[in-house]
Chains A and B, each alone.
Chain A
Amino acid sequence: MEPKEYQDLEKQVTPPIPYLKNALKAFFVGGIICTIGHAVTYFYIIFFDFTEKTVGNPTVSTMIFFSMLLTGFGLYKKLGQYAAAGSAVPVTGFGNAVISAAIEHRTEGVVLGIGGNIFKLAGTVILFGVASAFFVALIKLILVSIGVVQW
């Protein structure tokens, strides 16, 4: 069989990917996650002393905590299979990446297994965040020192 023939055959056999359906699923599940996040935001604003400026940090940590619980109980996996990017792009995907790596390697021991692998997937995100925050702050410091903008 020629490579071309094989490719044609493969095209005929493979079921078509429902791009639109997948995108809609991701859109709605991602939207629902963000709605829950907004509810958490209002919970912190109404019942605690947080303003819209300061409420971001507790909201993010709460959402990560929720996704960690769901991952531990094996529910986030099902959500991920259904909605794909819709469940991975919001910050809950970050919690899922941390905990699923820890669960995967827990048989290898606490230090070398969990400790060594917990940030295997999410470590890049943290590193990128810290490094880019450093450079953005540096650029702002320079601009403030020159007198272009104010703090």
Chain B
Amino acid sequence: MKKITFFFFVPLLLVAGCSGNEKTIEVYDVFDDAENRVEIREVLDSNEEIYSGTAIFIKEQLLVAVQANPWLDFKKESIEEELSKEVEKRFPDLNVLVSADYKIYWEANKLVNEEDQQKVSDQVEKLKNLIKEET
């Protein structure tokens, strides 16, 4: 009995992660600029190497937090670099920050529904410092 359960449940557990391939993209925009929103969505949508992304426009700053596809985790830095170049080309007057780090992604997703602009701005500043942290 134990063996039968084992053989039924282990393959199920192994393939449990294979469901849901939809890309989730969230944008937070205080200026309410539809053009910006469409453009950043386009950039994130066209990138094949990420499965989720969140962009935050606030006070001359653009924070883009993405999550690399499974198995591509080891080339996170090159994904960040490529995406950073692409975003900077499209938004030359904004201070762009792209990160594939889970912490940044988690905090950015919490900020998407935040009403208080000052709080978002402070938090983005804090995240910028956090990315630089080495130890």
Contact = CB atoms under 8 A, between A and B. Distances in A.
A49 B130 contact: yes
Interface stretch (A50-58, A90-98, A113-121, A134-142): A50-58
A53 B101 contact: yes
Contacts of A52: 101-103
B130 A46 contact: no
**Main SS class of interface, B:** helix
A45 interface: yes
B133 A51 contact: yes
A45 B106 contact: yes
Interface string A24-55: 00000000000000000010011001111111
A129 B104 CA distance: 31
B101 A51 contact: yes
A11 to B, nearest CB: 29
Contacts of A54: 133-135
Interface residues of B, number: 10
Interface in B65-110: 101-104, 106
19 contacts: A42-B102, A45-B102, A45-B106, A46-B106, A49-B103, A49-B130, A50-B103, A51-B101, A51-B103, A51-B104, A51-B133, A52-B101, A52-B102, A53-B101, A53-B133, A54-B133, A54-B134, A55-B103, A57-B135
Contacts of A53: 101, 133-134
Interface string B104-135: 10100000000000000000000000110111
B124 to A, nearest CB: 14
